[in-house]
């Protein structure tokens, strides 16, 4: 797994982007959208229900393993995530966990925000996407894209000030 730690505990990797359509069923992501649909996410929204892959831009982190334990790195539900692809920078949250040996997955809403359109089975990309996680920044409420954008803009601005010579 190509996971790297940066200054201030920031985590980053480059991978493709596969679509995670799990969570609260919606018009696109639901039991009919694919054989791997699960009606749950690792973390729930502020209303106690699973996140909606149709509405919430979220990334999926690998489940805990001997190689990496997200919680030990401060990564949990609502951790700020930044996605960079094709000249676009988009803000998301950590919203689900996946297999321990897979990295490079995000919600349908996250893919759409990057301009990766199409049905869930085809909307991702094999091109490189840069994933940045900021374990010191939590988005509240977890399901609010506007809160992720506001937290993301502020945290990335601070990150650039801290890392630019």
Instruction: Assess if CATH 2.40.40.10 describes domain 4-163.
Output: yes
The domain limits of the chain are 4-163
Cα–Cα dist 154/119, whole Å: 32
CA distance 46 to 144: 10
Question: pLDDT tens digits for 10-42?
Answer: 999 999 999 999 999 999 999 988 778 999 999
Residue owning tokens 């982190």:
61
Q: Are 23 and 40 in contact (CB under 8 A)?
A: yes
Taking only the tens place, the pLDDT of each residue in 101-160 is 889 999 999 999 999 988 887 778 889 999 999 999 999 999 999 999 999 999 999 988
pTM score, whole prediction: 0.93
Question: Distance between terminal CA atoms of the chain?
Answer: 29
């Amino acid at each position: 797994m190509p996971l790297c730690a940066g200054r201030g505990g920031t985590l980053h990797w480059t991978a493709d982007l596969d679509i995670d359509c799990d969570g609260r069923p919606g018009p696109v992501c639901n039991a009919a959208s694919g054989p791997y649909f699960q009606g749950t996410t690792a973390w729930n929204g502020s209303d106690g229900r699973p996140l909606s892959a149709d509405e919430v831009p979220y990334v999926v982190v690998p489940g805990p393993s001997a190689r990496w334990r997200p919680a030990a790195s401060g990564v949990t539900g609502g951790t700020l995530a930044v996605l960079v692809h094709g000249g676009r920078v988009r803000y998301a949250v950590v919203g689900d966990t996946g297999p321990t040996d897979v990295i490079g997955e995000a919600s349908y809403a996250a893919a759409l925000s990057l301009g990766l359109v199409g049905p869930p089975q085809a909307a991702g990309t094999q091109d490189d996407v840069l994933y940045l996680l900021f374990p010191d920044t939590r988005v509240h409420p977890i399901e609010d894209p506007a809160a992720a954008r506001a937290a993301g803009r502020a945290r990335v601005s601070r990150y650039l000030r801290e890392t630019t010579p």
